[in-house]
Each structure stands twice: as C-alpha cells, then as structure tokens.
C-alpha cells in the first residue's frame, strides 16, 4: 500500500480468492491467475475530511521510476465486481489504474497523476475477462497539464498524443491500482498488465508473468 496516497482506513491486501457467487461456473469463479488477488475495500463516509470518503493505492514506487510514459502499449486488469458495488455507485463504480508521472510539459511542473477510469465490468459477482485500458474507458491527468482533464477525459491514444509540445518526454514515477475518493467499493483485482508483464496478485506476494504475444 502506498502510504502517502492512503486516506482513512481502507483495505488493500493480497488474499486468496475471491470466488464467484453461488451458481457461478468454476471457470468464471476463480481468479484469472493462480488462486489469489488484490482485495480492495474503501468506504464512502468514514472520515472527517471533505469529501469524507476513503482512498487507497496499492502499487510500486521503485521499479517503474523513469520509464517513458509514451512507451506504454499494454495496460489493463481483471476485476471482481459485485452487484452491491453497482448499487453503491452505478456500473462504472470501479477501481482505477494510476500512474504518477513527471509530465514534463513545462519546467516548473514535475508531477501529475495519470488515471484510467474503466468502463463497466461486463459481468458481476464473478471475475471479468481482461479489461483493456488502451482501448476502453477514459484517461485524464490530475494537474490539467494537457487537454486530457477530469472534465474532458481522453482515449488512451488521445492521451499519449496530448503530450506533444512538452519540454521533454513524460516519465513514470509510480504505478498503482487504486480506488477513491468517491463511492464505497468492495472487490478485487488481478492480472494487472503493464506492457509485456502481467502482475499476478497472490496471498504470498506479487508474481510477474511474461506475456510475449497479444
């Protein structure tokens, strides 16, 4: 868990399961890789802050540092979405993928968070197929460095094109899966993909699987 990006008392923990609800076929019930996943729980009304909702990021602050943002070609994950989560915040009440980056658009601006907002999961109460962040959902930058803002989000292709004109190519600082600060959400993520690596979340650690094709 990235401590400085945590608000409230959320949960982001490597765990076994979850498996699908009763009546779900075994092929759809199991985590897509191994037997475990990253369990995430955030509440929507549990702090004295404004807004009162929680936030959590689970990620890596070291291994991606300095990598080129424009070198990202494959990004996405599998999610265990529940019908309760849809009831809390609608079909797009989903976790995010977040890249803290140095956008390098101007000399004085060295920080932004690049956020993927996924589409609705195609299934609930079971594991989704792979959800591709390069072809679905939308992206935005938190600091309004380019035209891709939270008010005017972009496709992945538009996001990468929006960095044209900076003083240097943008670079990655950290990578995380996160949730908040909006609606309550209790679910899980597995198979986070960053280019050719798939990160398999297991109860005993994160395992890297190499995906050479596709």
Q: What percentage of the chain carries pLDDT values higher than 90? A: 92
Mean pLDDT of all residues in 110-138: 97
**DSSP letter for each residue of 10-66:** -EEEEEE---PPTT--HHHHS-SSTTEEEEEEE-SS-SSSSS---BEEEEESSTTTT
Query: pLDDT digits over 20-58, tens only?
Result: 888 888 878 999 999 999 999 999 999 999 999 999 999
What does pLDDT average to over the chain? 96
How far apart are the C-alpha atoms of 142 and 133, rounded to whole Å?
17
Instruction: Report residue 188 as tokens.
Output: 């899980």
Nearest residue to 199 via CA among 58, 66, 101: 58
pLDDT at 21: 85
Query: pLDDT digits over 159-207, tens only?
Result: 999 999 999 999 999 999 999 999 999 999 999 999 999 999 999 999 9
**Using the 8-state DSSP alphabet, how is residue 203 labeled?**
T
How far apart are the C-alpha atoms of 144 and 148, rounded to whole Å?
7
pLDDT at 27: 78
- The structure's pTM equals 0.96
User: Is residue 16 very low, low, confident or very high in pLDDT (cuts 50, 70, 90)?
Assistant: very high
């Amino acid at each position: 868990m990235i401590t400085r990006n945590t608000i409230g008392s959320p949960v982001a923990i490597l765990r076994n399961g979850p498996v699908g609800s009763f009546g779900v076929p075994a092929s759809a019930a199991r985590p897509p890789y191994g037997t475990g996943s990253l369990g995430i729980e955030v509440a929507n009304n549990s702090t004295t802050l404004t807004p009162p909702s929680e936030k959590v990021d689970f990620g890596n602050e070291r291994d991606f540092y300095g990598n080129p943002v424009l070198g990202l070609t494959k990004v996405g994950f599998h999610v265990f979405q529940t019908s309760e989560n849809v009831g809390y915040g609608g079909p797009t009440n989903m976790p995010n993928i977040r890249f803290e980056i140095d956008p390098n658009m101007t000399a004085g601006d060295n920080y932004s968070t690049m956020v993927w907002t996924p589409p609705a999961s195609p299934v609930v109460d079971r594991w989704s197929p792979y959800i591709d962040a390069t072809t679905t959902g939308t992206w935005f930058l938190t600091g309004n460095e380019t035209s891709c803002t939270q008010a005017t989000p972009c496709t992945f292709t538009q996001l990468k094109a929006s960095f044209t004109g900076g003083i240097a190519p943008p670079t990655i600082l950290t990578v995380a899966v996160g949730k908040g600060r909006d609606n309550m959400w209790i679910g899980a993520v597995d198979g986070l993909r960053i280019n050719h690596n798939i990160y398999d979340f297991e109860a005993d650690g994160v395992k890297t699987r190499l995906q050479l094709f596709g």
